[in-house]
């Protein structure tokens, strides 16, 4: 079995999916602004854009369910273009080592166990799935059977989660096994910004249930030596998982040929966007404070409509941009965030 360092599962979360047409109404920045104004932390966000518009999947703590619903009801545009789902959670595996092995084997195992995947996204070192909360324990068992874990791995569930109380102070919950500080600072710190150019974005549409006859094909694909910068996918309806893979063209081209042969239905839906550029950055507390996405989109101002995709997962933020947009975007972000030196 493939060895990995660990696995973590979250507490119960709520899922919101936003749909925005190609005219670019600013729905996502407006939604993030409303969440920040209500001090609701976003624990996961994955967004992708194409000719038809933008689709965003995000998760917040279930403790904020009532407040989140009131935010959605208060904004007519959100009522029309947002879908709410209660009872989801995050399953995070690490490290992925920028290869497809962890993704391929975990996705194959989850679908064979009839576990529904709402979304998945990579960060610098982790791979995070959005699953049904009631199925997280089963998913952890499936992963234990699929991977060999380090003997000193951390507990899958934390012992204690500190949530923000009604007066802003911490409020203890006995559901989990880890102590986390929740705080806010006027200027958000980051370790700096990295830009990668001349990349290619590959989009595949996989059946959400991955039929059993495709299992050998997925196995052959995951053994490819492709190295990626970003991987994320969202459930589209009940029947398809839209997977986006960002990598160097020389890495993606062989994989594309293999997918077209092994999974013809996915190859038929293939879209390649190139060249594209990537900005990614990390902060020590991105997962622990509200307003990160809002702060990022405010820094971009009216430039959010150029985003091809964005991922906020664990302590990492990835912004995928068309050719020529990364340098200006980095300048805007550097002026807003506090960086070393």
Quick one: the chain helix, strand, coil %, rounded to 5?
35, 40, 30
For 147, the domain range is: 9-194+277-336
Q: Examine residue 165 and state whether it is found in any structural domain, yes or no.
A: yes
Can you list the positions of beta strands (E) in the chain?
2-4, 6-9, 13-21, 42-50, 53-61, 82-94, 117-122, 127-132, 147-149, 161-164, 170-173, 193-207, 230-236, 240-247, 271-282, 309-313, 316-322
- Spell out the residues 6+ positions from residue 297 whose beta carbon is closer than 8 angstroms to its own: 28, 29, 32, 33, 304
Backbone angles phi, psi at 171, to 5 degrees: -130, 120
The answer on pLDDT for 168 being more than 50 is no
pTM for the structure as a whole: 0.87
Higher-pLDDT residue of 169, 156 = 156
Residue pLDDT, tens place only, 71-115? 889 888 888 899 999 999 999 998 888 888 888 888 888 988 999
pLDDT at 265: 65
Cα atoms found within 13 Å of the Cα of residue 220, Cβ hemisphere only:
15
* pLDDT value for 246: 92
Q: How confident is the model at residue 121 (pLDDT cuts 50, 70, 90)?
A: very high
* Each residue's pLDDT tens digit, 16-67: 999 988 666 688 899 999 999 999 989 999 998 877 778 999 999 999 999 9
Which pLDDT value is given to residue 332?
92
Query: Is the per-residue pLDDT at 175 higher than 50?
Result: no
Residues 258, 235: Cα–Cα separation, whole Å: 23
Encode pLDDT of 126-139 as tens digits. 999 999 999 999 99
- Whether 311 and 318 have beta carbons less than 8 Å apart is answered as yes
CATH number at residue 141: 3.30.2130.10
* Per-residue model confidence (pLDDT) at position 120: 94
227: in domain: no
Q: Is residue 30 part of a domain?
A: yes
Residue 121 lies in a domain: yes
Count how many domains the chain has: 1
pLDDT given for residue 172 in this prediction: 43
Torsion of CA 256, 261, 265, 266, to 10 degrees: -20
Residue 328 lies in a domain: yes
Residues 333, 296 contacting (CB under 8 angstroms)? yes
Average pLDDT, the chain: 82
In three-state secondary structure terms, 52 is coil
Q: In this model, does residue 155 exceed pLDDT 60?
A: no
- pLDDT of amino acid 196: 96
- Residues 276, 95, 210: CA angle, nearest 5 degrees: 70
Two structure tokens written together for 262: 């092994």
Residue 327 is assigned to a structural domain of this protein: yes
148 assigned to some structural domain: yes
Beta pairing, strands 127-132 & 309-313: unpaired
274 to each of 112, 178, 229, 258, how far by Cα in Å? Answer: 34, 42, 14, 19
Q: Is residue 173 part of a domain?
A: yes
pLDDT at residue number 200? 92
């Amino acid at each position: 079995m493939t060895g990995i360092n660990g696995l973590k599962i979250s507490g119960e979360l709520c899922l919101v999916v936003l749909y925005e047409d190609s005219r670019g109404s600013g729905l996502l920045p407006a939604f993030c602004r409303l969440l920040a104004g209500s001090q609701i932390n976003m624990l996961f966000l994955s967004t992708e854009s194409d000719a038809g518009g933008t689709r965003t999947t995000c998760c917040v703590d279930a403790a904020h369910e009532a407040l989140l619903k009131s935010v959605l009801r208060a904004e007519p545009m959100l009522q029309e273009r947002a879908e709410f789902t209660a009872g989801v959670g995050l399953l995070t595996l690490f490290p992925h080592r920028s290869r497809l092995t962890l993704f391929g084997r975990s996705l194959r195992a989850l679908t064979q166990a009839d576990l529904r995947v709402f979304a998945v996204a990579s960060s610098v070192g982790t791979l995070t799935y959005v699953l049904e909360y009631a199925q997280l324990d089963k998913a952890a068992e499936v992963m234990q059977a699929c991977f060999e874990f380090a003997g000193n791995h951390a507990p899958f569930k934390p012992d204690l989660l500190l949530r923000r109380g009604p007066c802003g102070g911490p409020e203890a919950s006995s559901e989990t096994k880890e102590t986390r500080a929740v705080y806010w600072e006027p200027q958000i710190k980051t370790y700096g910004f990295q830009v990668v150019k001349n990349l290619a974005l590959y989009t595949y549409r996989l059946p959400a249930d991955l039929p059993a006859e495709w299992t050998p094909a997925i196995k052959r694909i995951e053994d490819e030596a492709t190295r990626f910068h970003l991987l994320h996918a969202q459930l589209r309806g009940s029947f398809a998982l839209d997977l986006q893979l960002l990598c160097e063209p020389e890495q993606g081209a062989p994989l594309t040929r293999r997918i077209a042969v092994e999974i013809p239905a996915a190859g038929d839906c293939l879209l390649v966007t190139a060249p594209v550029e990537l900005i990614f950055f990390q902060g020590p507390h991105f997962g622990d404070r509200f307003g990160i996405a809002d702060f990022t989109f405010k820094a971009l101002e009216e430039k959010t409509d150029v985003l091809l995709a964005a991922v906020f997962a664990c302590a990492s933020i990835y912004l995928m941009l068309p050719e020529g947009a990364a340098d200006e975007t980095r300048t805007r972000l550097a002026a807003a965030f506090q960086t070393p030196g």
